[in-house]
Amino acid sequence: MNFTAHNIKLKDGSTTMNNGTPILAESAMWTSIAQTVDLFFPQTHAERATVKVADLGCLEGGYTAAFARMGFDALGIEAREDNVKNCNLVKENLGLPHLNFVKDDVRNMAKYGPFDISLCYGLLYHLNDPVSFLQTLSDSTKKLLLLNTHFAPEHDFRYSLGPINNYLLAPIQKRTHFLERQKNYRLSPITTNEGYRGRWYKEWNQRTAKSGIEKMLWASYNNDRSFWLCKKELTQVLHSVGFTHVFEQFNFTGDLVPDHYTSSFNRTMFVALKS
Ligand SMILES: C[S@@+](CC[C@H](N)C(=O)[O-])C[C@H]1O[C@@H](n2cnc3c(N)ncnc32)[C@H](O)[C@@H]1O
């Protein structure tokens, strides 16, 4: 059992990680999700058993399990074999009736829906077709989307320097944080994809073998580069695919991720609702 990010409390009180990583279900990250869900969904386990949740790119199943522990009917969708194996270890250990996992590309989520709630944490910025995926996501989500994602900065002169940034400045900033007000992700210059502005992010080399891609447990799966939409474009897409209300949430920082996460890492947490 090798868990890389989700520290989950098991039935006998032991945990999936033993390196000081906060327990996921006790972290600000999870509490912010649970409190938001409580605003819009019933509180009793009996009522929640009929509320379907999708956890997209669920990694080791920590969030999926936390939803199931709250009483929801939760399905984690994950592309990587090793991650799904860990998810199923958690499922077997907890023995919760409404905790399930499938090995699939999230782009196929419609096969398993519709869902009342979709959790899209750390996943959208691993796709090369985020606009098309957000349409799929909206078509499969009846009420609430929790979307934690990176977005592309509108202005960042480093990303117009091409190889100078990629091979010189970015490695220096990675080691020394020299003048690094915002993290250097080696993004492309601003361009357009699927009709919206953003920047490309290189995930892995096109020549990487399938076995190598399987071992990159947090990365994209079926695309070697991902497209990060600019923030304004992202909110426009969320509205145009059918979410009537789009909010931003800030109370997920403080333990698993630092408080300056939203300002230094081009990342935010959207709460999108259908009325
Ligand atoms: C950065 S991790 C985030 C994991 C988890 N959602 C979290 O926030 O802790 C991205 C996860 O998405 C999975 N993933 C990437 N692309 C995927 C795809 N197209 N379909 C299904 N899973 C994918 C990866 O294997 C990995 O588990």
* pLDDT tens, position by position, 12-44: 999 999 999 999 999 999 999 999 999 999 989
Q: How remote is the CA of residue 219 from the centroid of ligand 1, in Å?
A: 7
How many residues are there in the chain?
Answer: 275
On whether residue 61 sits in a domain, the answer given is: yes
pLDDT at position 178 is 84
pLDDT at position 151 is 98
Q: How remote is the CA of residue 218 from the centroid of ligand 1, in Å?
A: 6
pLDDT at position 155 is 95
**Are residue 166 and residue 240 in the same domain, yes or no?**
no
Q: How remote is the CA of residue 200 from the centroid of ligand 1, in Å?
A: 18
Does 260 score more than 90 pLDDT?
no
Does 180 score more than 90 pLDDT?
no
**Domain final residue pick, 141, 164, 189:** 189
Q: Identify whether the C-beta of residue 186 lies closer than 8 Å to the C-beta of residue 165.
A: yes
On whether residue 244 sits in a domain, the answer given is: yes
Q: How remote is the CA of residue 58 from the centroid of ligand 1, in Å?
A: 6
* CA-proximal residue: ligand 1, atom 11 (nearest): 57
CA-based nearest residue to 151, from 32, 272, 265: 265
On whether residue 168 sits in a domain, the answer given is: yes
**Are residue 44 and residue 142 in the same domain, yes or no?**
yes
**Are residue 130 and residue 48 in the same domain, yes or no?**
yes
SS (H, E, C) 217-268: CCCCCCCCEEEEEEHHHHHHHHHHCCCCEEEEECCCCCCCCCCCHHHHCCEE
Q: How remote is the CA of residue 231 from the centroid of ligand 1, in Å?
A: 21
Mutate to test the pocket of ligand 1, among 150, 221, 225 (most ligand atoms within 8 A of CB): 221
Range of the domain at 175: 156-189
Does 255 score more than 90 pLDDT?
no
Q: What is the pLDDT of residues 92-116, one digit of tens each?
A: 999 999 999 999 999 999 999 999 9
Average pLDDT, the chain: 96
On whether residue 122 sits in a domain, the answer given is: yes
- Report the alpha-carbon distance of residue 128 to residue 14 in Å, rounded: 38
Which tokens belong to 175? 């080691």
Residues touching ligand 1 (Cβ under 6 Å) are 5, 57-59, 77-80, 83, 105-106, 121-123, 126, 218, 220-222
When divided into structural domains, the chain yields a total of 2
Mutate to test the pocket of ligand 1, among 2, 218, 255, 256 (most ligand atoms within 8 A of CB): 218
Q: How remote is the CA of residue 187 from the centroid of ligand 1, in Å?
A: 20
* CA-proximal residue: ligand 1, atom 20 (nearest): 105
**Which ligand 1 atom lies nearest to the CA of residue 221?**
16
pLDDT at position 258 is 85
| Mean pLDDT, rounded, for 259-272 | 92
Residue 225's domain is classified under what CATH number?
3.40.50.150
**Are residue 131 and residue 150 in the same domain, yes or no?**
yes
Query: Tokens 């992202």, residue?
Result: 234
**Are residue 144 and residue 267 in the same domain, yes or no?**
yes
Q: How remote is the CA of residue 265 from the centroid of ligand 1, in Å?
A: 18
**Are residue 222 and residue 99 in the same domain, yes or no?**
yes
On whether residue 15 sits in a domain, the answer given is: no
**Are residue 183 and residue 203 in the same domain, yes or no?**
no
pLDDT at position 254 is 86
**Are residue 204 and residue 168 in the same domain, yes or no?**
no
